[in-house]
Chain A
Amino acid sequence: MSTVESRPSAPARPAADARRAPGKPPKGFDRPRFLKLFVGVFFVLLFAPIALVVLFSFNSSRSLQDFQGFSLRWYETFFESESLRDSLIASLEIALLTMLIATVLGTMLAYGLVRARTRVSDSLNVLMLVPLVTPEIVAGASALLLFTQVKLDLSLTTIVLAHITFSISYVTVVVRARLVSLSREVEEASMDLGATPVETFRLVTLPALWPAVLAAGLLVFALSFDDFVLSFFTTGESPQPLPVRIWTQIRFGVRPTINAIGTFMLVISVLSIGLALLLPRLLGRRESGLKVLLGREGA
């Protein structure tokens, strides 16, 4: 805990170093200039395709090469098409249902994994992680097989079931990271003061947990809304979620409306992630959603 005081006899350091605050880049690295350029080019290339899509969604012509004037016609085409509208609503419904159910299941699972001591805890812990590393095509194929076996017709329901299955793990991971930092003593204090385990969960654990739960929920919403492969395998005839429609449209080469749909989906996804990052802070919590979500990253 002792702080090292600068000795007066230390050699004089360059002024720039003396002004440097802790956490700044280490001295002597003149890499930054080249690296900066690299990163700059990177960001340009990263955003270029997306910028293109967004820009040309407002193009008045079909061309992908010349921008011939601002127009909303492709958005009109999008929203005027009944089937595309149905698909949009379907995607939103699926995402909402998935978010609600996966959040509940995932939060409960996280609580059980952290607070309970059982013989199956370790296996459940691993089981919970497997969906995160399972390639989506495996997920999709196996889900399709299951539904066919139990004679469940492919529909929005099957999509929701599949989405939930693969969203639970995300919720559990995010909520668990938060739960672990919640001291057990607080829950013990609650019981010490007369609250039953159920009351403790309701009155003490959940209130402390909700930023993580919210962030996880919004993450799951975005993931579900954007999902393609799983939906592709488990979708029925109609309505199909938006990403599946986009696939069909791309295969048929009907281009310009895709720009509009894509831009629109981008806005929805950005909004929900933005909410996930900002909502905890806006509603009175100190830490940002970014920390909550990233807390577990880098496993």
Chain B
Amino acid sequence: MSAIRFEGVTKRFGGLAAVDDLNLEIRKGEFFSLLGPSGCGKTTTLRMVAGFDQPTEGHIYLDGEPVETVPPYRRNVNTVFQSYALFEHLNIEDNVAFGLKRKKVPSDEIRTRVAEALELVELHGRGKARPRELSGGMKQRVALARALVNRPSVLLLDEPLGALDLKLRKQMQVELKGIQREVGITFLYVTHDQEEALAMSDRIAVMERGLVKQCSSPEDIYEHPSGPFVASFIGTSNLLSGVVENGCVKLATGASCVAQVPSDCPQGAEVHLSVRPEKIWLDELEEGMVELGGTIVERVYVGTTTQVIVELGPGMRVTALEQNTARVGSDNRWQIGDRVRLGWHREHARVLR
């Protein structure tokens, strides 16, 4: 039985469909992410699971039971909000105990469970503090503890790390993943940060304007994006436009690239050739690679890597990524204006329509 099932779920505001015919099954114990830009419907979907919004059409099932008539305070799900939404007039312990008190759990049990929850998020001993005394990261942990302590069947997280600084965010990502594994609860995670989704999720559903564009594991989505939107939203990708010609893709520059053309792209079809920057090699190419020539127009040093932007022809640029490993100093290697040969293994490129 799935933890959450969406059947033909549509949510309309006025004439606009924020969520359009959503069909998804989220498995128990899974870390599932809804990923997409603002307005893609991911938060609306989350709110429908929580019970704050009702679907205009379709059904949602929690643990196999339909939930249309169940108000949020009776669903076995809990939410971690982006703004933390802590109760300012209560201390940490009372915040965390809030849900348990509503369920009339006996007070010694409350005490034990609250202590456990605070230990889990590493806030042991801070129970008597007030929310306003805490930093953003700590508040986030309290919100997490407050939700988890109720042992919901699903935990909903609405961009919980959005307000934290980069370093803290990365740290919390690792912690969250660890907690999820330890506790075993199904996590439904909403984010617009694709790196975050890739790092933490078992599966990701990429959404755009209310529709699920692709739903799969992080590796699958990254290596085999189903379309131009997913390819450009996940990671960076080079999208070279061209036309199918004799089993190859002919680019606007005239160069022809051998590629794995799928069966639904006939001769003459307009397609995009999608190649990840890190899959592009410069100068020292291997046997059997697809080869192209161009001029270096830009070079961006980002610490761990150097981005080299090569112009293949008017209006057609490609970004290649070279790791700044100790043995090659990039500044001596490529200068702006140099002619360079670049290439990739044929299986690293995808033909997308």
B72 pairs with A188, CB closer than 8 A: yes
Q: A192-B72, A192-B79 are in contact. List 16 more A-B contacts (CB 8 A).
A: A185-B85, A186-B86, A186-B87, A188-B72, A189-B87, A190-B87, A191-B71, A191-B72, A192-B78, A193-B102, A193-B150, A194-B73, A194-B150, A196-B73, A207-B89, A208-B89
- Which residues of chain A come closer than 8 Å to B83, judged between CB atoms? 183, 185
Q: Is B52 an interface residue (CB 8 A)?
A: yes
From 70 to 122 in chain B, residues with beta carbon under 8 angstroms from any chain A beta carbon are 71-74, 77-79, 81, 83, 85-89, 98-99, 102-103
- Which residues of chain A come closer than 8 Å to B146, judged between CB atoms? 193
- Residue of B whose beta carbon sits closest to that of A206: B89
Bound CA span A195–B75, Å: 11
Bound CA span A196–B73, Å: 6
B73 pairs with A188, CB closer than 8 A: no
- Which residues of chain A come closer than 8 Å to B205, judged between CB atoms? none
B85 pairs with A191, CB closer than 8 A: no
- Residue of A whose beta carbon sits closest to that of B72: A191
Interface bracket on A: 10 to 19
**Would you give the shortest CB distance from B71 to chain A, in whole angstroms?**
7
A-B pairs, top 5 by smallest CB distance, nearest first, are A193-B99, A194-B102, A189-B85, A185-B85, A207-B89
Main secondary structure of the interface of A (DSSP, over half): helix
The answer to whether residues A194 and B89 also contact, given A183-B83, A185-B83, A188-B72 and a CB cut-off of 8 A, is no
Q: Is B50 an interface residue (CB 8 A)?
A: yes
Chain B interface (Cβ < 8 Å from any Cβ of A):
50-52, 71-74, 77-79, 81, 83, 85-89, 98-99, 102-103, 146-147, 150
Q: What are some 12 contacts across the A-B interface (CB < 8 A)?
A: A186-B86, A189-B86, A189-B87, A191-B71, A191-B73, A192-B78, A193-B78, A193-B99, A194-B103, A199-B102, A204-B87, A207-B89
**Would you give the shortest CB distance from B136 to chain A, in whole angstroms?**
15
- Which residues of chain A come closer than 8 Å to B99, judged between CB atoms? 193-194
B52 pairs with A190, CB closer than 8 A: no
**Would you give the shortest CB distance from B164 to chain A, in whole angstroms?**
16
A193 pairs with B98, CB closer than 8 A: yes
- Which residues of chain A come closer than 8 Å to B52, judged between CB atoms? 188
Bound CA span A204–B86, Å: 10
